Amino acid sequence: MKIFKSAALVIVLLSVFACQSESTKTKLQAITGLQKQVDSSQVVFKTIQIETISAYKKNAEGQLDYLKKNYHDTAIENARFVDVYNSNFKLMRKLMKGHERLEKEIDFSNNQLKHLYSDIENGFAQDSNYVKFMKGEKIAVFKIINTTNTLKDWEERTIKRYNGMISPIDSIILELKNQGYR
């Protein structure tokens, strides 16, 4: 008799959990939609050539340190050129910091969405909590998308500038070394 009651209880519980309300399905679809947006941003994020940027930044830093010590030219054309190169270096530095922050934000949002999905799926979250958490996650996902696009733009600009400016900067440094500045 106890076996039949336990089996009946299990069947009832399974049928309750198997049948999700339309509201629950809608909430889960909304969470899945946000997760897809984060995943898409993560795909773009992973294409950022951070190792290349890091190597370029390190090389530019060494060149700029050398120029700070030894470059005393008053020629406006070269000074502007070095200033643009320095600005590009600063942009690379911002990109590196932003990359680290965005990586953490993507991981955090992935975890938050996973937990929210699980809570809704298992019926642990109330509607008011769902609304509050979804509002926060929508804002976070929007920021992730914008930051990813910004970092991708910065990556393209810094690499293009660096590749276009590295030879002239090397020429300025070589000229300084030929003049006796070591």
Report the C-alpha gap between 64 and 56 in whole angstroms.
12
Task: Give yes or no for a contact between 71 and 176, defined as CB atoms under 8 angstroms apart.
Answer: yes
Q: List pLDDT tens digits, range 100-158.
A: 999 999 999 999 999 999 988 888 777 888 888 899 999 999 999 999 999 999 999 99
pTM: 0.79
Could you tell me if 86 and 165 are in contact, meaning their C-beta atoms sit under 8 angstroms apart? no
